[in-house]
A and B are shown apart, each in its own frame.
Chain A
């Protein structure tokens, strides 16, 4: 019997138990909160605020483009 035949005749996945799970080699792995260092947190917030300021600038440029010249 070929693998395709086995596939056609196999028991649906929902009727069997899930395979063992492991990081990097498993299917769906459990995820918990990461512990960020204070320096990483500050760096992320600086980046976030910079992105917000730039987004605001793009919106202002967009509004300015709508003004009649």
Chain B
């Protein structure tokens, strides 16, 4: 019956019908009391947002933090940051489930086109820079296997196009979830580097030893680590994906579980990358090059070929999953802001904007890394900082939406969530401002003739 006519339906039905179909699947499972099956159906947006943010540059950044400063401060700091990320992402999931709309759509419709476009332009800027960084990470992984930069760019674009062929959110989500599981390779690599268990326990209990160095370097590390954990694209992506998946107010508890699982996995894998860096730095021979570009080879020299290979594959996976989720968030944001096709569940001319933006974002970023002489490392360094600078504006609008009783009804933010969200916004805003102003003043002081 329905299954037999599915291929035809795929071409005919509109996004709303497919969402309703997915909702009915959950509803029927609920009637049967199949709890695990309901959870399985709802899992996706939260895990993808969190593991998507455990992207190539973030994992390299965690590993570099471990190499330079050890695990003392950063191990518990990464865990705390993912708790903060949970606060933000739970809100975006709840707004998406309660309203059935993505963040870009609500920003434009609720606060006007000016704010909608500001949000979309911020996102395009940070996402383009971040996508370039993802290709850099994939390229580092490919270099370990002696593959050229062109292969990294071409395979990234091909992967994005391949996953979009089904033109259905659910199929896309399951493919990306399967890929995201390979983020666990960082944990395997950490185990192979044989970290000292006592040091790990000491770091969690005491938050020490604290990193030393200049204030600008420390602020850069803290700001970029925040930018490696919570970013504007995650808010856009999870809310839009929640709506596109057809989640409703009844699915909020499963959505919270999805987000919590994502945060826990991302924290564990992020800490694993930090431990890898710290382990090899503590026992590395002086001739080993620990720069980001040579990281997989340095790991291989320290812990064997398998560990180096796992880290390199992990970087390729982290970059690939982020390419898919970040380009999707760009497409959602532009589609929703334009008021056209802000969904993956739509084909043909009606879905043109979504698919064109998704593919163009990745192709544009791939083209940039192929330009000879492009400052790849400077781009990667500033990507997380830029995301952190623009995050507070996005979060304030998210909190406003989550407090909008007209939209949210009984799912409106409670007092404790507002306090937690306020702390996140102030902390991120303060770190981003402190680093940017200090680094800016230092830059001018360092300029010749100033």
Contact = CB atoms under 8 A, between A and B. Distances in A.
Partners in one complex: yes
Interface of A: 2-4, 6-14, 18, 22-29, 31-34, 36, 44, 47-48, 50-51, 54-55, 57-58, 60-62, 64-66
Contacts of A55: 125, 386, 389-390
A58 B32 contact: no
Given A28-B99, A29-B100, A8 B2 contact: yes
Interface in B242-279: 243, 246, 248-250
A54 B13 contact: no
Interface stretch (B71-79, B172-180, B361-369, B434-442): B434-442
15 contacts: A3-B28, A3-B31, A3-B34, A7-B28, A10-B1, A11-B2, A24-B98, A25-B249, A27-B20, A28-B243, A34-B111, A48-B393, A55-B125, A61-B382, A61-B436
Contacts of B385: 58
B87 interface: no
Contact of A2 (B5, B32, B440, B443): B32
Given A2-B32, A60-B443, A65-B378, A51 B20 contact: no
A1 B271 CA distance: 48
Contacts, number: 150
B255 to A, nearest CB: 14
Interface residues of B, number: 71
A61 B249 CA distance: 44
Describe A's contact surface by its main secondary structure: helix
A22 B378 contact: no
A13 B16 CA distance: 9
A7 B249 contact: no
Given A29-B99, A36-B111, A64-B447, A57 B409 contact: no
Minimum-distance CB pairs A-B, first 5: A24-B409, A28-B100, A3-B28, A13-B20, A23-B409
A25 to B, nearest CB: 5
B393 A51 contact: yes
Contacts of B110: 31-34
Contacts of A34: 110-111, 404, 406
Given A12-B21, A33-B112, A26 B100 contact: yes
Interface string B282-313: 00000000000000000000000000000000
Contact of A26 (B18, B25, B29, B248): B248
